[in-house]
Structure 1
């Protein structure tokens, strides 16, 4: 079984910074051979540490001008699975989280404009078990990242 070490964390840091970084460039930066880096990256994938490599898109340039968080309150756990399936199959919903506190779920969405947001809200409110929604529209974003600080992951 492969245990994650400092070298793996360095590889992961480079991939978080630029998922398109070539393996030979990573190998050069950390002082390993290309086959060694390839083996480590394959092991990290097998372990499920790296799940996929994706591009960060500029949503505004693609016509998705509205980012919002929708807090959903559901009636009961009876419709929980259906709610999750609806959220997963709705393209404008980027994230769906079960939460504590007010509500049962929070959704992060990106959509074209307030008209498309209104339609999306009506759709969500029509799902079985949804009792209420509360929406917060994002005015500006000051930090948005998928990277995590790996310095303390081995402790």
Structure 2
């Protein structure tokens, strides 16, 4: 399968694109007319620029971010996964995708083949997920779990 070019290399964006990106990544709900006023261009120009940024893969979609703790998900853990063999990667990832509490999954270099983030309501809930789901996945040789005590910050990549 061919990977789209925009996933392989950085694209060229100008100062106006950078300013637009800074504004819309700080507030995805900001009206284009407000972005236009801040940038000194028309609303139509902003709409065209954002559409172009989407088309070339610089930005995708918009989303509301759920605060897990507000929904009772108070335990955050990261898990390094060792595979029995590299060939199990695809089937393990598909099995992980079926577990809603697994919120991130990364194919990595180094000690682990896969690194995941798990968000659960309690430590007991986490243990249940590990015992009844993760340890049942064919192809996983062993795991190592790291508990997050607190997230200090999370951010987007810097816009020049």
Task: Work out whether the TM-score is over 0.5.
Answer: yes
Aligned pair count reads 149
Instruction: Give the TM-score, by structure 1 length.
Output: 0.90
1:13-38 deviation digits (Å, cap 9, x = unpaired): 11111111111111111111000000
CA distance in 2 between partners of 1:58 and 1:98 (Å)? 25
Counterpart position of 1:124: 134
Determine if the alignment matches structure 1 residue 49 to structure 2 residue 58: yes
1:1-155 correspondence to structure 2 within 5 Å: 3-122=12-131, 123-145=133-155, 147-151=156-160
CA distance in 1 between partners of 2:143 and 2:121 (Å)? 20
Instruction: Give the TM-score, by structure 2 length.
Output: 0.88
1:99-149 deviation digits (Å, cap 9, x = unpaired): 12222111011111112101211211211110101111111111122x111
Structure 2 stretches lacking a partner, 5+ long: 1-10
Structure 1 stretches lacking a partner, 5+ long: none
CA distance in 2 between partners of 1:107 and 1:61 (Å)? 22
**SS of corresponding position for 1:108:** strand
**SS of corresponding position for 1:51:** coil
